[in-house]
Amino acid sequence: MIEYKKSSAVLVFNDKGELALQLRAAHDDKFPSHWDFSAGGGIDDGEDDALAARRELHEELGIDADVEFITKEHYTYPAWDPSITREVDLSVFKAHHNGPFKPDPDEVEKVQFFGLETIGEMMQSGVKFHPEFRLSWEKGIVVPAGNQ
């Protein structure tokens, strides 16, 4: 079965060039306890991609920030259920914020800033990441603000 969705994702960088990642809630029904973009989620019918990105920042992290478009990608990957293949059109944005965050406990276990080198080490050591973040990382999309 193929599941299609349109999503926006945001990479939030701080003044040190570190990236805020969210650890998805352990009770999430899709990719629980996986590290993920700073914020992100589905785009509602008729909703602008950038508006969806700002909405997700507010809903998931409790912050308001300007977002800057980076890229739009199409990914196909195995979902959390092996009988499902997920296809997504993903709009990726970046934003700047130093925290603090007020994560929504229904969706986010915690938010933490990491250096990009540390994230790379985490990936190599087998730490669980959401497939869309991992695919974006592997394509070289995840770079510090100002380096696009």
How many domains does the chain divide into?
1
Please report whether residue 60 resides in a domain.
yes
Q: CATH no. for residue 31? A: 3.90.79.10
Domain assignment of residue 145, yes or no: no
Facing residues of 36 across strands? 22
| Burial tier of 79 (Cβ tally within 10 Å: 0-12, 13-18, 19+) | middle
Q: Does 148 reside within a domain?
A: no
pLDDT of amino acid 145: 52
Give domain status of residue 26, yes or no. Answer: yes
| pLDDT value of residue 129 | 97
What are residue 121's phi and psi, to 5 degrees?
Answer: -65, -40
- Residue with structure tokens 């990957």? 77
Q: Which domain holds residue 36?
A: 2-138
Q: Is residue 147 part of a domain?
A: no
Report if residue 143 sits inside a domain.
no
Domain-embedded: residue 42: yes
Phi then psi dihedrals of residue 64, to 5 deg: -120, 130
Residue 127 lies in a domain: yes
Task: pLDDT tens for the chain, 148 residues: list them.
Answer: 999 999 999 999 999 999 999 999 999 888 999 999 999 999 999 999 999 999 999 999 999 999 999 999 999 999 888 899 999 999 999 999 999 999 999 999 999 999 999 999 999 999 999 999 999 999 999 986 554 4
pLDDT at 11: 98
